[in-house]
Structure 1
């Protein structure tokens, strides 16, 4: 197979990447045929998959703009994938030119692509690290170089926790990250759920098989299980709601497409406490730390 000139060196183009599949769903250009083939299999199982991913990205952009509006201009995006097509640094720096962003991912594919994308941007960086080692992330030299952890930070855990199995206790990892945040920090979080969305059980099983086959099994969770990530926080209006209805852009339909209504989101008020945003494969929300 001929290697595309835009492919970072050292990347095995014969293996699908979750990050590049997500980029494919979004209509981005940082994906290759092996990723598109896996994505097509997931879309065959559940045709509305791209719409859900696009709603997830739209919610993320609204939450980032909300953070900037509340005076938070530092962003730590863990499980970031490839930062293209309406990403955190583009959205944040468009709203505030001095905004600083650190992307974190354990996937070498995502890290290599991220370094290529961010070349020349001195207010954004990337770290190769795993969500399951929160202390190492918070102490990483790139994180401490770009972010002042004594000031509020918007922590993003968007569409990543459903790749962390219960046995690795993702709730404890989120709690440790929360405890490392300064007062007024925010958490923006989305998660695939087992109920509340349009995906039928058989469709869900087929999608899970696609991701299991590429070595990234999905751990869908119930709404109460996702709500546990908000322990120690209170949700701000409108609470845990379908993604399109969390503080919708006036140009957007607040009802959203039926296939995105299974996702919830929430965001807390940074002037009081850290903000948390949660989303299912159809919902979103924000929480406040007392």
Structure 2
């Protein structure tokens, strides 16, 4: 039988290069030189007889063949890492890397309590926290867990609540409301300048409201579209329109009257943040420990 030209080291190197879109950043993570990684990939491509990566002077990205290879083989690498993790349970101290994919909001929540406690309690553990707006397949992309709002979590995942429920609320500045009538129902919003939200997919985000069993979904219209909640808050404070944002992002502007909440009775509480992970496979001991810390700190 011919020897396969692909090793676990090659696969791990390929996944990190594609994840970082950079040989240098992947090399830093793996403790290798960028030239070594480049040589590994050229040798791998020669052995397979197909190009796996597009290379330019500024970036690197997978070819169609590279994407397909990663999609099929990434679970193999993950199973290998889990096998090593099971052996780690026999060590006196936990070690290894916990990979978590989270929204920016969720990452900020972790930084306040859970992460400092976890890293202090388990000094041989490290955490690779990736923040992005898009909802990904955490299994296919090699993450141990994800953190998102409850309504966004896939149904086949086990979810652990982090903290309390949350609200999305509509706010505007007193300056804006001096020159525009206060909306009394969501149906009044089409007559206003709304600060629109663009999703990572590029699609506009629809505003959802509910009161006394009645639900309304509004596609806001306005001159300004943004993709960051904190910048949306700044825009609302500047009087550029009505924003629809997580309540915790406007607690201080509401307290010092730079912003005013409108349509408050149309903005009920919804399930907040959850850590989630697949329930059909072995749970790494590092993730189990992290979940315990989350429960203690929230």
Q: Under a length normalisation based on structure 1, what TM-score does the superposition of the two structures give?
A: 0.25
Instruction: Give the structure with the higher percent strand.
Output: 2
Structure with more relative contact order (C-alpha pairs < 8 Å, separation 6 or more)? 2
TM-score, L = length of structure 2: 0.24
Which structure has the larger Rg over C-alpha atoms?
Answer: 2
